[in-house]
Structure 1
Amino acid sequence: MNKKQFFLLILFFLTFNVNAQYHIHYFGKPMRKAPDKTDVPTFNMAFFDAKNILASEEANNRQKSKPTYQFGKTFDVSIDLLKQPQWKQEAKGRVFRYRIKAEGAKSISFAYKKFFLAENAWLKIYTPDSSMVMGPIAGGIFKTPDSFATDLLIGDESIIELFEPEGAIGTSVVQIEKVTLGYRDYFAAEQEAAISNGRTETALACQRNVICESNYTNESNAVALCFFGEDGYTGQLINNSGVISNANSQRPYFITAFHSIELAPALIASSTVFRFKYRSSQCNNNIIPPQSSWFVWSMGADVRAIHEATDVALLELRTGSLGVFGFNQMLANNGIWYLGWSRYNCGLNTSAAPVACLHHPRGDLMKISLSRLPVTTNLPPTFQIDPPYNPVNFNFVTFNSGSPQTIGAGTQPGSSGSGLLDQNKRLIGVLTGGAPVNPSCNNPDYSYYGRFDLAWEGGGTPNTRLKDWLDPGNLNVMTLNSSPANSTTTAGSPNFPVTNLISVSGAGMSVCQSGLGLGVIYV
């Protein structure tokens, strides 16, 4: 690609954020002049029944301690835009518009079986009044036709517009295989109304916006709200030890809960949309932030490792023709971070600093939950954990105790996959579930997190453990600090390797167990 072509590619993204020039797609400005929508063919999904679907999903989730957050219903379709006859010739190319309508839907999103845009082609999706515009998604960044997905648009009607330039007619591939219709009000502006109306479609009113705890801003820049089809979950970018000496070793690894993708891990990962920095800019305001403040990535991810016993999954975000280096430059330009981690699972001095969870409960804006109560691997009284999980593989944390020892509410469906951060803000666990399934602001919440230290060695093979990916040089690093994208970081302290020691106990000390053995931590 020459300099002129590269410059044109940048212009196609039309984002509010001048540093977001590499985006696959973003929410563009409302159009000054609405395009001609006469004679636009329409695919009418009149069979959508939001009320009955919502009732059924709520009943099913009440039976689970680790429910996913479902906001919509996914329908299989077969729509090949390149095979549609209603193309219109325009200056320097041709354009095709296609309408998807489902009366009563709260949102619409698409998954593509094959997606490829030729150089200088583009695609955008918008509401009929052009008040919400996604794109243009520009050609030139895709290597070959592959699976793809696009973020939600509000409302029950969306228009897809595809432009192909002269010289590239018929070379794009846009095959829609799934349409997800929302039956919940997913956007925060409507969720605010949902709270006032006493409905249960949104996060608890006592959830705390992450901006209220400004000392967690860097960590929040690593966290994403994830969409696959009808489900929403949370996850975060995570550092690997290669960046201690070389920023170019930073790969876009993303850690989340296995149960969020377990129905079809490879398919789900490849079609997930990652929405970073989806958070309020005000502590006591839950109104949707401007789309220019989000960072959205839609090329999906590949599965690197799964450890079912701890419910941990490690993905790697796809980077397209940008490559890892170009992708990290883009992340850095948009203020994205990678989380650090710790393989120590004890010695958590919660009296000095709380443990924290940054999450998207019920798909809401990013929230933070803090607790100074002890973290334990012991199953709390009256708490039941879903089989086949073993309690010793999890950390149990109490949120929303009603005492000054906790801040914010507990976790909810949609929080799954969020990280448990120790007092040094390093990840030590990944959220699986909690009790009660639908907590209130008046009752304590027990949340349980798959232990990072046990997932490190996992099942003993690269596809069942974290160590091969997060410590590629086999440095035996025990802790790693967070860092901005495209930068180096340091190993944390303490950073001594854990060896097999005789188990001891007594005043002033406790036994620290990790995935590698035993060590003594003095407290």
Structure 2
Amino acid sequence: AAALRFTADGAYGVRLGVLVQSLPEGAVLRFYGEQGAGAMEVRASELQDIAARNARGGADDTSARTYWSPDFSGPQTTLEVEIPAAASPAAVRLSVPRLSHFTLAPAQAEQAFAQKVGESGSCNVDATCRPEFNDQSRSVARMIFVRDDGKSYLCTGTLLNDAASSGTPYFLSANHCISTQAVASTLTTDWFYRSSSCGTATVNPAAVRVTGGAALLYASATTDTAFMQLNSQAPAGIVYAGSYFGGVGVGTALAGVHHPQGDLQKVSLGSVQRYSTCVDNSCRSSNADDGTFLTLGWQEGTTEGGSSGSAAFVTFGERRYVVGQLLGGTASCAARDGVDYYGRFDTSYRTALRRWLNPAAGL
């Protein structure tokens, strides 16, 4: 066994970009933060599968073979390499040419700000204060992922149920967040990342981080859809959100559950203003037949960076269903008359998603 420790002063999370050229059969890479904290490990066979999946997704050889570790909410991450006793150390060929870290001034590192708590605008509504959205809250996760530039990014995603209620961890977010398999492989998700009680700035102690990345099943800019299957099972206590592919009309009340600025989970309430078509970050008004986005105005709350990919929910009776995911828009706490654009789930469902969510229905 061998161990290498990487430290980034002033960072509250360090992810290692490990380029794996070869490992002997039975080898294990293990990652951990401060001594005594929990560790995460990945086997050589799993790394081979991830590299093959990335390559099939179009990644070049270096990107395909680069495995991004999780971070451990501190300035240190240790990589430990363990090989079987009979294996030759010469069979280990790996390097760590890249790091991705979340950096703050050292004076801030001990503050709650380091967990992104309190960074969102003051008009946002604490999800814990709206218990009627508890089921939706438990289906939504904060996303952290690494792009080809080596930088880490935040978005929001939602766990989706399928027609068979199979428990398969299908996960919906935005194409502008994750559009390639190489990036999907870096995904970590934070579940139950909300306040411990209404109006507080403390993190729910039940919050759970899931590593392992995801398989990207479908990505489209037409509706800004990224549809994935998590490689690790979602934690106990989550809810698989239902989805509605019948379409919703202008004036329909919708709700968003999301992580603005990566903050603790928030709820926004609004309604459909019109249909739109969005291309290259430019959106124009359209109609129900041609528009691939729903344009929402907000009565309570708003969205911000980090909210991207989050679901909009429609209410039927006592149940709520996903009808779209967030591209972005002009809404903010400072622009209460701004609007946001959500890719239409009914369009992406008919185009592709029913292949996984309801295969018995055919294409």
Please classify the TM superposition score into its range, dividing by the shorter chain length.
0.7 to 0.9
Residue matched to 1:273 = 188
Q: Which amino acid counterpart does residue 349 of structure 2 have in structure 1?
A: W
Equivalent positions of 1:123-522 (< 5 A) are 123-127=30-34, 130=35, 133-137=37-41, 142=46, 144=48, 146=50, 148-164=67-83, 166-167=85-86, 170=89, 175-183=95-103, 189-190=112-113, 202-229=119-146, 230-243=152-165, 247=166, 250-262=167-179, 265-290=180-205, 293-319=206-232, 327=233, 331=234, 334-346=236-248, 354-371=253-270, 374-378=271-275, 386-387=281-282, 391=286, 392-399=291-298, 401=299, 406=300, 409-423=301-315, 424-436=319-331, 439-440=332-333, 443-458=336-351, 465-474=352-361
Q: Which amino acid counterpart does residue 306 of structure 2 have in structure 1?
A: G
CA contact (8 A) 2:223 2:348 kept: yes
Q: Provide the C-alpha distance between the structure 2 equivalents of 1:117 and 1:209, rounded to a whole number of angstroms.
A: 49
Q: Which has the higher strand share?
A: 2
CA contact (8 A) 1:240 1:472 kept: no
CA contact (8 A) 2:33 2:77 kept: yes
Q: Provide the C-alpha distance between the structure 1 equivalents of 2:114 and 2:296, rounded to a whole number of angstroms.
A: 27
Q: Provide the C-alpha distance between the structure 2 equivalents of 1:226 and 1:162, rounded to a whole number of angstroms.
A: 27
Distance 1:279 1:156, change over 3 A: same
Whether 1:105 aligns to 2:105 is no
Q: Which amino acid counterpart does residue 334 of structure 1 have in structure 2?
A: A
Unaligned runs of at least 5 residues, structure 2: 52-66, 147-151
Q: Provide the C-alpha distance between the structure 2 equivalents of 1:174 and 1:276, rounded to a whole number of angstroms.
A: 32
Q: Provide the C-alpha distance between the structure 2 equivalents of 1:377 and 1:113, rounded to a whole number of angstroms.
A: 47
Deviation sequence 1:465-504 (CA, Å, 0-9, x none): 222122211179xxxxxxxxxxxxxxxxxxxxxxxxxxxx
Q: Provide the C-alpha distance between the structure 2 equivalents of 1:120 and 1:384, rounded to a whole number of angstroms.
A: 46
Q: Provide the C-alpha distance between the structure 1 equivalents of 2:140 and 2:13, rounded to a whole number of angstroms.
A: 23
Deviation sequence 1:91-138 (CA, Å, 0-9, x none): xxx4x23222333434311233449797695623213xx48x341437
For residue 306 of structure 1, report the CA deviation from its aligned partner: 2.1
Q: Provide the C-alpha distance between the structure 2 equivalents of 1:420 and 1:428, rounded to a whole number of angstroms.
A: 6
Q: Provide the C-alpha distance between the structure 2 equivalents of 1:121 and 1:311, rounded to a whole number of angstroms.
A: 37
SS of equivalent residue, structure 1 residue 309? coil
Q: Provide the C-alpha distance between the structure 2 equivalents of 1:205 and 1:212, rounded to a whole number of angstroms.
A: 14
Q: Give the length in aligned residue pairs.
A: 331
Equivalent positions of 1:30-49 (< 5 A) are none
TM-score relative to the length of structure 2: 0.77
CA contact (8 A) 2:224 2:327 kept: yes
Distance 1:157 1:204, change over 3 A: same
Distance 1:375 1:107, change over 3 A: same
SS of equivalent residue, structure 2 residue 133? helix
For residue 214 of structure 1, report the CA deviation from its aligned partner: 1.6
Distance 1:175 1:289, change over 3 A: farther
For residue 420 of structure 1, report the CA deviation from its aligned partner: 0.3
Q: Provide the C-alpha distance between the structure 1 equivalents of 2:120 and 2:23, rounded to a whole number of angstroms.
A: 37
Distance 1:255 1:192, change over 3 A: closer
CA contact (8 A) 1:188 1:365 kept: no
Distance 1:183 1:474, change over 3 A: same
Distance 1:237 1:177, change over 3 A: farther
Q: Which amino acid counterpart does residue 454 of structure 1 have in structure 2?
A: T
Deviation sequence 1:162-220 (CA, Å, 0-9, x none): 4456456757786545311223579982268985xxxxxx2113322222122222222
Q: Provide the C-alpha distance between the structure 2 equivalents of 1:475 and 1:216, rounded to a whole number of angstroms.
A: 32
Q: Which amino acid counterpart does residue 146 of structure 1 have in structure 2?
A: I
Q: Provide the C-alpha distance between the structure 2 equivalents of 1:189 and 1:124, rounded to a whole number of angstroms.
A: 24
SS of equivalent residue, structure 2 residue 360? coil
Q: What's the % identity of the aligned pairs? A: 23
Deviation sequence 1:267-306 (CA, Å, 0-9, x none): 111221122222222111122333xx23333221122122
- After superposition, the CA RMSD in angstroms is 3.6
Distance 1:305 1:410, change over 3 A: same
Q: Provide the C-alpha distance between the structure 1 equivalents of 2:121 and 2:360, rounded to a whole number of angstroms.
A: 43
